[in-house]
Structure 1
């Protein structure tokens, strides 16, 4: 069954979302040439929605209460879009079309909003279980929505997608250890493990790459690596360009993690991928290993 064509205002709304995505591209597969062409618009709409909510949680000088009120308004607009009654805003016009056209579940969007509310309220995490709970809200919904867009949201695929998305979120935390602390006052390391390894917040504040911090971080790296490996079979199972995109993302995450593990004198700098890394990503994505 062919989907109905886009109305002019809907096409214009998607273009606005694509423009937002192109300005703020990070580690999200927004409008990538690897994505199937028909999915670039809805992916951009999802990104634009998440970008707006993330900016409310992180940017500007609003108080915590004002940020939470603004996120409540985003939630209300989301529910209106899901019901077919959206505000005059291109993000929600595009999102309403994507939700209806692809029958997207609303829960992943609401989980993202819960994560952004948590960013406003919480800056420390008692143990790794709490961090995993945050990743379930902040990272896993993105992969789940992409699977729904591609009609591949089986239980096994969702579980492996969760592992990949959580691993990528953890890797981002480890790249942004210093900036998260300085710019937002947040530490995404388990407080109990920091105490166990003898790491103090002042080590992060002063960018001290101590031996204790190095041991703690390598413990985190190994855990992220296990999660990434647990979800990696999904990249070989998804067909076509979506599988190619996911394999590139997984291998890219693995190369960044490898570069993090090589850093000894400065645990706070973001690793840069070189030409060899990029060739490994392209080669691994295009020529996935066959599994018996």
Structure 2
């Protein structure tokens, strides 16, 4: 049973504005990859933007602001409850107690779900992962090994790719596996890009097994110390992410027209972040990397030859 807090207890960050049925919610967060860009087929921009804002809102509930872990979990459970209610209809039946920051997001998602009929289990998987982040951060839990971290990625990232493939009617097993590889790689890249922010906040995605293999202690990581051992550890993580990305990359040839080109840029965006993060030219323990204008030119060039 999901615990639903009272309206006064719900803590919500500023959200996107309410929308009319045909309107696409704008993307206002910095991302390394295109989201519902001009390359996206026009009829798919609204559903993809609706999915993006659903996930972004839940992500913000899990880690933005200064509310307690208990409140974050209560908010996520309430968000899930309202999600289920919204998707049971067209979103118009949401109670007045639903925070305004959620209402537009859930109504937009419900309108698109009425057309596309996404599997609800995939949306629930995303919320499961956000709740796990809150619980594990509060308990200062570490991922013991890569299979455990991959199970988190299965719920935190892979549903997004599967939901998008659903829009294209691509559901065969090889394509789904390639999508999972790309999405897991993007999630891992985000982890390694955000080490300087995540470690002080108690979010530990470098596994115990990898740290032990490279002789890196948790104390060294907590101090954000850069040394040959930590650089080797980070290199190994980047190699892992790159291998997954390249294994999934053939999926770009399964999507037609502009959608395939947008996926090419997503793949190349991830690969470009990996290139830029590699020691010694970068140290994610010291600063967070952001892509530059020249990086986007390189991404476009490599996309032409996939």
**TM, length-normalised to structure 2:** 0.83
Checking the alignment, whether the CA contact within 8 Å between 2:194 and 2:284 is kept in structure 1 is: no
Q: Which residue of 209, 212, 225 corresponds with 1:195? A: 212
Q: Which residue of 20, 34, 58 corresponds with 1:12? A: 20
Checking the alignment, whether the CA contact within 8 Å between 1:46 and 1:95 is kept in structure 2 is: yes
Change (3 A) 1:267 1:94: closer
Change (3 A) 1:56 1:140: same
Checking the alignment, whether the CA contact within 8 Å between 1:14 and 1:90 is kept in structure 2 is: no
* Residue correspondence of structure 1 range 1-292 to structure 2 within 5 A: 12=20, 15=23, 18-19=25-26, 21=27, 23-27=28-32, 29-84=34-89, 86=91, 87=94, 89-123=103-137, 124-182=142-200, 184-263=201-280, 266-268=283-285, 269-274=287-292, 276-285=294-303, 287-289=304-306
Q: CA deviation at 1:265?
A: 6.7
Q: In structure 1, what is the Cα distance between the partners aligned to 2:90 and 2:210?
A: 47
Q: CA deviation at 1:137?
A: 0.7
Larger relative contact order (Cα-Cα within 8 Å, sequence gap ≥ 6): 2
Checking the alignment, whether the CA contact within 8 Å between 2:231 and 2:279 is kept in structure 1 is: no
Cα-to-partner distance string for 1:108-158 (whole Å, 9 max, x where unaligned) = 110100000001111321111111011111111111111111222322211
Q: CA deviation at 1:44?
A: 1.3
Q: CA deviation at 1:276?
A: 4.8
SS in 1 for 2:276: helix
Checking the alignment, whether the CA contact within 8 Å between 2:32 and 2:291 is kept in structure 1 is: no
Cα-to-partner distance string for 1:64-122 (whole Å, 9 max, x where unaligned) = 22211211111111111221163162212111111111121111110100000001111
Q: CA deviation at 1:274?
A: 4.7
**TM, length-normalised to structure 1:** 0.87
Cα-to-partner distance string for 1:184-236 (whole Å, 9 max, x where unaligned) = 31111101221232212232333211111111111111111110111000012
Name the structure 1 match of 2:6. none
Checking the alignment, whether the CA contact within 8 Å between 2:33 and 2:265 is kept in structure 1 is: no
Cα-to-partner distance string for 1:251-270 (whole Å, 9 max, x where unaligned) = 11111111212435734233
Q: In structure 2, what is the Cα distance between the partners aligned to 1:49 and 1:185?
A: 25
Q: In structure 1, what is the Cα distance between the partners aligned to 2:34 and 2:119?
A: 20
Q: In structure 1, what is the Cα distance between the partners aligned to 2:123 and 2:169?
A: 17
Structure 2 gap ranges (5+): 1-17, 96-102
Q: CA deviation at 1:250?
A: 0.5
Q: In structure 2, what is the Cα distance between the partners aligned to 1:229 and 1:43?
A: 24
